[in-house]
Structure 1
Amino acid sequence: MGLFNWVSLISTLHLLFLSKSALSSSETPANFLDLARSPELLDWMAAIRRKIHENPELGFEEFETSKLIRTELDKMGVPYSHPVAVTGVVGFIGTGEPPFVAIRADMDALAMQEKVEWEHKSKIPGKMHGCGHDAHVAMLLGAAKLLQEHRHDLKGTVLLVFQPAEEGGGGAKKMVEAGILENVEAIFGLHVSPRFPIGTVASRSGPLMAGSGFFEAVISGKGGHAAIPQHAIDPILAASSVVVSMQHLVSREADPLDSQVVTVGKFQGGGAFNVIPDSVTIGGTFRAFSKDGLMQLKQRIEEVITRQAAVHRCNVTITIDDYPLYPVTVNNNELHHYYTNIARDMVGTSNIIEMQPLMGSEDFSFFAEAVPGCFFYLGMQNETQGRLEPGHSPYFKVNEDVLPYGAALHASLATRYLIDYQPKPTSTKGSSRDEL
């Protein structure tokens, strides 16, 4: 189904929950980490992650990844909704009653060639899981196993959000628009990180990652011979002026205390040393930690491209509104405090890192803009195993020792949230208390 039918889904959950009501309820484990570290579950998560890694799919093309997820949820007996936002899957575990809490993993890969030589290297030329989303899916499925095994201890409902198109496609925005958060009170997300040691978690309250937007421009001139430039209109010169001028937007127009970045990562034009081309294509991103700063950059980028092209007698076509504008990723203060307490119980106070904000962006921001959210990083660096490269590198690798931490934290955050945030009872007129 494209849009959520909450009545049908809740009814299904009630039936599944009640059909096993004869089972005895045990205490929910205070720490899922020991369970997640069991060889059986760890090997299963690693196998899932490796299969996804071998078969990477780009945003809104995650059909096989989505099929794998649904197959595993079917084996567990976990009901789900699909498709959501083209390839997305949302699973449900618990009573079908409030409170509702969501835990999220992104599914898409990057358009890049893997250069890591190993047994499970990408089989798809030009595509690679270079940011760890394969591990994110495996960890959320691992959490699903843990939660499903203890579903009769849950005091509400957990949503398992498998999201498409995080890498620039705004898949989270489409899932929000599909209504998946209609009854949800909070959402948690995580990301593996080679910056921090294995066994640590890192986050901060408030703004965590910058908002961002994308732009692309085709600057058209008039091609000609490099020896007689006066008979041509040079789009390379115009595009070069645009790139230089855009750097001034940060150095001379932005408040030095308001972090902003403009980066041109795409510059394509020409194919011969002695030919002035007809057109040049440039593209890039802009980032800021405030909505006002982001909108100001967007406006000024359009103006700079248009006017610099005109100075050099070129025409221009700008694409900027077609791309989703990612909000600033802001961690809810109360949820961040809650996450810190859960993480402290699991990994210890010394392994909790209060990190500085990052200029990178995350479309988890769309979820956290709609409902209270908390996003954190899982460290996976182990110097004894060699240095790990940062995300979006063709040499990016995942230390699979991180998998139990992610599965356990997902499960613990969701389970304890349902206990700690139970709906407050409302007084009923004419109750026994009133009659006393």
Structure 2
Amino acid sequence: MEWLRLLILLFTFTNHVSSWGSVAAGSRWEVSQLTRELMDSAREPEFFDWLKRVRRTIHENPELAFEEEETSRLIRSELDSLEIGYTWPVAKTGVVASIGSGSQPWFALRADMDALPIQEMVEWEHKSKNPGKMHACGHDAHATMLLGAAKLLQLKSKEIKGTIKLVFQPAEEGRGGAYHMIKEGALDNIQGILGLHISPEMPVGTIGSRPGPMLAAAGRFLVTIHGKGGHAASPHLATDPILAACLTIISLQQIVSRETNPLESRVVTVGFVDGGQAGNVIPETVTLKGTFRSMTSEGLYYLQQRIKEVTEMQASVHRCTATVDFMLEKMRPYPATVNDEAMYKHAKSVGETLLGEPNVKLLPMGMGAEDFSFYAEKMAAAFFMIGTKNATFVSKTDLHSPFLVIDEEVLPIGAAFHAAVALSYLDNVDAVVTH
């Protein structure tokens, strides 16, 4: 009878395998059907025209960090028209909307709203109306795509198995708006979160990310070197802070080149130098500003310590003094952006269904920084880049460029991707978490 028991066990195992396979196939079919429906809805002419109107309105009225009053007002107006409830203000100008049952699980989608202090150089009908300010990092598109997701999700609100939070965040550009959103409790009890950022280097219709570490931890520094002014013809009677500043800048580069393991990624860059009024006068002070970056928190702390030591010692060598300000309150250092592997795989799978496997790219690590990292420290997070490049556009392809142009075809793609990731997460939350 032993053979009979073995046969029964084999039969039972085979049935289980068949059952698992059918469930997986069914799940894939449901996700595929869902993403097609969402994409079809987002690409309907009326929907797409609305997305473009919203994006262009935001683009025309750029506002800097923690000043996003009109942008926040527009977002709330659109949410009101969709009959979606929200909390406001959060972190001064932020908005957090809710769609679904209000019960757990909670999943979040995030977009930033702030612009940059850049004068737009692109001549078009919807050019920035605020001199010296521009959406040169795509936050106008980010907010629009999230509003598009809100509209798609509201159409399916009765089918949502939990709650989706829509996080419209201020002050990503150097001011750590995400930190303040978390500090005020806006993201308490959220299990997972997705963030999107445009990439003008990737073709529209593609997305990309990577599991684990993706973007660097980053901080800023402000150095003031104090000397003794005097006439250029009598340098021995002065104490030259320009000479001290020059040697300081060179020495700071050696922290990476001579003190860092070549297999580790770190950066120290001085991007601003100010001092002096005339070519024949030695000034009293010179000011330097820069950034330091690392793929680890330990590396960032090491750079911070060495920047202070090197600067103070180089100033002393040249008979000057130096103060180093890391601007910890105004420009809080950002942690590294680290994607949760299970959340990354979930979003990647949705992206492959939405756009096709070849259009979901594995990106290399980068030394750019994002305050989405604060969310990634607190919950399972996935941060993806979404392509906006169109080969027919004559456009400089860098973020933070006054010539930035994006292909608005990205708007329905981003809206559908946001919505599909959130809905499918809530439908299969246990599978995603234990993936």
Using the size of structure 1 for normalisation, the TM-score is 0.89
* 2:352 counterpart letter in structure 1: R
1:185 shift after superposition: 0.3
Provide the residue aligned with 1:260 in structure 2: 266
1:28 shift after superposition: 8.2
Q: Does residue 342 of the first structure (1) align with residue 350 of the second (2)?
A: yes
Q: Work out which of the residue numbers 294, 302, 313 in structure 1 matches 2:308.
A: 302
Provide the residue aligned with 1:118 in structure 2: 124
Name the SS of the counterpart of 1:367 in structure 2.
Answer: helix
Give the conservation status (yes or no) of the 8 Å contact 1:163–1:172: yes
1:343-363 per-residue CA deviation (whole Å, 9 max, x = no partner) reads 111001111111111110110
Provide the residue aligned with 2:224 in structure 1: 218
1:126 shift after superposition: 1.5
Q: Distance in 2 between matches of 1:316 and 1:295?
A: 20
Provide the residue aligned with 2:233 in structure 1: 227
Task: State how 1:320-339 maps to structure 2 within 5 Å.
Answer: 320=326, 321-322=328-329, 323-339=331-347
1:306 shift after superposition: 1.2
Provide the residue aligned with 1:100 in structure 2: 106
Q: Distance in 2 between matches of 1:199 and 1:423?
A: 27
Name the SS of the counterpart of 2:189 in structure 1.
Answer: coil
Provide the residue aligned with 2:24 in structure 1: none
Name the SS of the counterpart of 1:327 in structure 2.
Answer: coil
Q: Work out which of the residue numbers 51, 56, 71 in structure 2 matches 1:50.
A: 56
Q: Which moved more, 1:106-115 or 1:222-231?
A: 222-231
Provide the residue aligned with 1:403 in structure 2: 411
Counting matched residue pairs gives: 398
1:200-239 per-residue CA deviation (whole Å, 9 max, x = no partner) reads 1111101010111111111121222222222222111111
1:388 shift after superposition: 4.4
* 1:192 counterpart letter in structure 2: I
Q: Does residue 374 of the first structure (1) align with residue 379 of the second (2)?
A: no
Q: Kindly tell me: are residues 30 and 198 of structure 1, through their superposed partners in 2, closer, same or farther at Cα, counting changes over 3 Å?
A: closer
Name the SS of the counterpart of 1:353 in structure 2.
Answer: strand
Provide the residue aligned with 2:211 in structure 1: 205
Provide the residue aligned with 1:171 in structure 2: 177
* Deviating 4+ runs (over 2 angstroms): 27-31, 384-388
Q: Distance in 1 between matches of 2:348 and 2:33?
A: 19
Give the conservation status (yes or no) of the 8 Å contact 1:36–1:405: yes
Give the conservation status (yes or no) of the 8 Å contact 1:98–1:423: no
Q: Distance in 2 between matches of 1:295 and 1:419?
A: 41
Give the conservation status (yes or no) of the 8 Å contact 2:395–2:404: no
Q: Work out which of the residue numbers 360, 366, 370 in structure 2 matches 1:358.
A: 366
Q: Distance in 2 between matches of 1:281 and 1:30?
A: 53
Give the conservation status (yes or no) of the 8 Å contact 1:28–1:150: no
Q: Work out which of the residue numbers 34, 37, 45 in structure 1 matches 2:40.
A: 34
Name the SS of the counterpart of 2:88 in structure 1.
Answer: strand
Structure 2 residue runs of 5 or longer lacking an equivalent are: 1-31
Provide the residue aligned with 2:29 in structure 1: none
RMSD: 1.6
1:114-172 per-residue CA deviation (whole Å, 9 max, x = no partner) reads 11111111112211111100100011011111111211111110000011111100110
Name the SS of the counterpart of 1:383 in structure 2.
Answer: coil
Provide the residue aligned with 1:430 in structure 2: none
Name the SS of the counterpart of 1:129 in structure 2.
Answer: coil
Q: Work out which of the residue numbers 182, 189, 201 in structure 1 matches 2:188.
A: 182
Provide the residue aligned with 1:151 in structure 2: 157
* 2:34 counterpart letter in structure 1: P
Q: Work out which of the residue numbers 73, 78, 82 in structure 1 matches 2:84.
A: 78
Q: Percent identity?
A: 52
Provide the residue aligned with 1:135 in structure 2: 141
Give the conservation status (yes or no) of the 8 Å contact 2:396–2:404: yes
Give the conservation status (yes or no) of the 8 Å contact 2:395–2:403: no
Name the SS of the counterpart of 2:166 in structure 1.
Answer: strand
Provide the residue aligned with 1:23 in structure 2: none
Q: Distance in 2 between matches of 1:388 and 1:94?
A: 41
Provide the residue aligned with 1:283 in structure 2: 289
Give the conservation status (yes or no) of the 8 Å contact 1:207–1:330: yes
Using the size of structure 2 for normalisation, the TM-score is 0.89
Give the conservation status (yes or no) of the 8 Å contact 2:216–2:366: yes
Name the SS of the counterpart of 2:120 in structure 1.
Answer: coil
Structure ID, larger Rg: 2
* 1:29 counterpart letter in structure 2: L
Q: Which moved more, 1:268-277 or 1:150-159?
A: 268-277
Give the conservation status (yes or no) of the 8 Å contact 1:381–1:388: no
Structure 1 residue runs of 5 or longer lacking an equivalent are: 1-26, 425-436
Give the conservation status (yes or no) of the 8 Å contact 2:389–2:406: no
Q: Work out which of the residue numbers 398, 421, 424 in structure 1 matches 2:429.
A: 421
1:22-41 per-residue CA deviation (whole Å, 9 max, x = no partner) reads xxxxx983431111111111
Provide the residue aligned with 2:197 in structure 1: 191
Task: State how 1:376-395 maps to structure 2 within 5 Å.
Answer: 376-395=384-403
Q: Kindly tell me: are residues 28 and 152 of structure 1, through their superposed partners in 2, closer, same or farther at Cα, counting changes over 3 Å?
A: farther
Q: Distance in 2 between matches of 1:74 and 1:269?
A: 51
